[in-house]
Amino acid sequence: SGRPTSRPRLRRALASLPDGDGAQSVILVAGPTNKPVVALVLLKRGAGLTDVDLAHCHDRNEAAAILRQSEDIGAFDISPATARTLLATALAEDTPADGWADAAAATGLAELHADAVSGRAWLTRLDPDGHRLGHQPPADAIADSAHWPQRHPMIATWTVGWDRMREVDADAADAALRAAIWAAIRRDSAEWAEVMLRAALLLQDAGADWSGFADAGRALLDGHDPAELPIFGQVVDASIVAVREETEADDGFALPVDGGGPPAAPGELEDLLRRAGGEADPEWLDGYLAAVELAPRPIPPESWISHLVYGPDLARDRPAAKRLANLALQRHDGLLECLETPEDVRESVRETNDAGLRTWVRGFVHASETYPDAWPAAELSERDREMLSTLTALARDDAGSTPNRESLAAWLLDRAESTSRPVV
């Protein structure tokens, strides 16, 4: 026809928070809406664009199916500008993986150039005028890092990887192993700072709370001891679990567990929950599991199991952690059976005493707040929002109040019908 061919336009971009090694996924959507092009790109700090997959979709449904993968990694919608920043930085770090040239052309990024950003340069990207972050990292922002894993499940997976630990002896005693992991964290504190600053850039663009990540990253760049940041205590615990798990995998043991083993002995579940740092009450676990199962968006079993068993004590006792995970899966299976029969749900809610119901509520609210991305406000009905608000208020109420039992049972049944996910 002689008419010029229009250039592809990047219409949507999503990205996950970086993991402990600085790896994050970026998803790019371009092309016509009836036949989109989707590029899945894996970035890793220091290694650049390490993997690229390009899909020319036949229709919107095929593209939507690919995008649903982003739910499993907790991806955030980000602006094309921030996507370009992440990709340009990766291009400056190493030669991109095969397939990048085709993906760049198909998503309107063919003219994207490498742009090295590292260290304090990330702070300039976050706060160009120097007005929002102040001159010193505030102490409360540093302390707040203890709550990051509850707000962002990806951070619960942060560990010191094998490539960082180098000569750590996985068979060492706990004290020696812990000391070696702390040494690895201190040695690589600048790399951890960059992980936090990249996370801050993504969260800032997504409209989420980002300044704590920026302050923590800056504190590390300023020479603060990582031990001053509570998040690293959790990284150490998770790393010990990962090291022990990898070692035990050679002997035939590794997560995921399968719910096997005998039922809980009297007091056994309570003791394991206490050691894991949760409330030492099976009703609390039942509430936690209900929020996991009834969430609008699925929570991967490896995520909720890991969060449940990564307590300060169980991090040093893998057989006990495995036992708690198996007992939790057994109760999860019981929950699924209960949800299949409306009368069983109503009877369970009616017959639970007031103290047990209040404990159940606290477990439910703990899980819903741990995984906020699985309970997105945009996907909740007005009734959902009202019930969640009621349960949250009750979880913080020391006056001994309980929810209306009939309303709670009816809502649980509605949630079960709307989720209806297969047994894990």
Instruction: Kindly provide the residue ranges of all beta strands, DSSP E only, lying in 297-360, ordered along the sequence.
Output: none
Integer distance in angstroms from the first to the last C-alpha of the chain?
Answer: 55
The reported pLDDT for the residue numbered 324 is 92
The reported pLDDT for the residue numbered 379 is 81
The reported pLDDT for the residue numbered 64 is 86
Amino acid at 347: E
Give just the sign of the alpha carbon dihedral 351, 384, 277, 323. Answer: positive
The reported pLDDT for the residue numbered 149 is 85
Q: What's the average pLDDT block by block, 10 residues per block, for the chain (424 residues)?
A: 64 90 91 90 91 90 79 83 95 93 94 91 88 72 82 86 60 74 91 94 92 92 92 85 60 58 91 87 95 89 79 70 91 92 94 94 91 82 92 84 92 87 39
The reported pLDDT for the residue numbered 185 is 93
